[in-house]
């Protein structure tokens, strides 16, 4: 199992940050365009425990794959957790936390994931997968800065 942790500050109240991140429709804005993300069911409501979000994404070589995640836990305004039901990873468990700090909100992401294909997947993890997952979070960090700096 591999883990990636990311922290980011936004100059928004915790409620404003929650309002944006708890809307599944906004996920597309935070996904690198080369991943060609397409929501299957564009749910325009705040997420809730048990909600399933389905989309197609091309994480590698432009090959479109289905990805479905279930929102397994929600504590409104504080955190939500999603787990992949179907997709390119053997396991993808993503925790999103929102913490009020001076001047805004700290967004904390913790992702635990496991690559498929056993030993072959482990071989390719440091070569391809690890850097690709890091690129997704780097892009997300930049987009969050762009989105929220244009709102101020």
Q: Residue 138's pLDDT band (boundaries 50, 70, 90)?
A: very high
**Where do runs of H (alpha helix) occur along 10-61?**
14-21
User: What CATH number is attached to the domain comprising 70?
Assistant: 3.30.530.20
Q: Which residues contact 19 (CB under 8 A, 6 or more apart)?
A: none
Helix (H, G, I), strand (E, B) or coil at 78: coil
Closest CA to 138 of 2, 3, 6, 1: 6
Per-residue tokens: 20: 């944006």
What's the pTM? 0.90
Q: What is the pLDDT of residue 150?
A: 62
Task: Show the domain range for 17.
Answer: 2-150
Percent of the chain with pLDDT over 90: 81
Q: Please determine, for residue 80, whether its predicted confidence score (pLDDT) is greater than 60.
A: yes
| Segment 47-61, tens digit of pLDDT | 999 999 999 998 777
Q: Which neighbouring-strand residues pair with 74?
A: 80
Classify residue 107 as exposed, middle or buried by CB count within 10 Å of its CB (0-12, 13-18, 19+). Answer: buried
Q: Residue 134's pLDDT band (boundaries 50, 70, 90)?
A: very high
Q: Residue 63's pLDDT band (boundaries 50, 70, 90)?
A: confident
Q: Rounded to 5 degrees, what angle do the CA atoms 70, 127, 57 make?
A: 35
Q: Please determine, for residue 114, whether its predicted confidence score (pLDDT) is greater than 70.
A: yes
- Residue indicated by tokens 């690709």: 132
β strands within 41-142, DSSP E: 52-57, 65-75, 79-86, 91-101, 104-114
Residue 59 CA to residue 135 CA, distance in Å, equals 11
- What is the rounded average pLDDT of the residues 71-78? 97
Q: Please determine, for residue 132, whether its predicted confidence score (pLDDT) is greater than 60.
A: yes
- How many independent structural domains does the chain possess? 1
């Amino acid at each position: 199992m591999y883990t990636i942790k990311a922290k980011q500050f936004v100059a928004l109240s915790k409620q404003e940050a929650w309002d944006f991140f708890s809307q599944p429709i906004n996920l597309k804005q935070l996904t690198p365009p080369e991943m060609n993300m397409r929501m299957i069911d564009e749910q325009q409501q705040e997420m809730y425990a048990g909600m399933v979000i389905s989309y197609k994404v091309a994480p590698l070589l432009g090959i479109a794959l289905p990805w479905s995640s279930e929102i397994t836990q929600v504590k409104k305004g504080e955190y939500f957790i999603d787990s992949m039901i179907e997709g390119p990873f053997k396991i993808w468990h993503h925790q999103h936390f929102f913490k009020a700090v001076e001047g805004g909100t700290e967004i904390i992401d913790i992702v635990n994931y496991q690559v498929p294909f056993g030993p072959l997947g482990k071989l390719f993890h440091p070569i391809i997968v690890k850097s690709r997952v890091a690129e997704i979070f780097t892009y997300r960090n930049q987009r969050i800065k762009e989105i929220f700096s244009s709102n101020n």
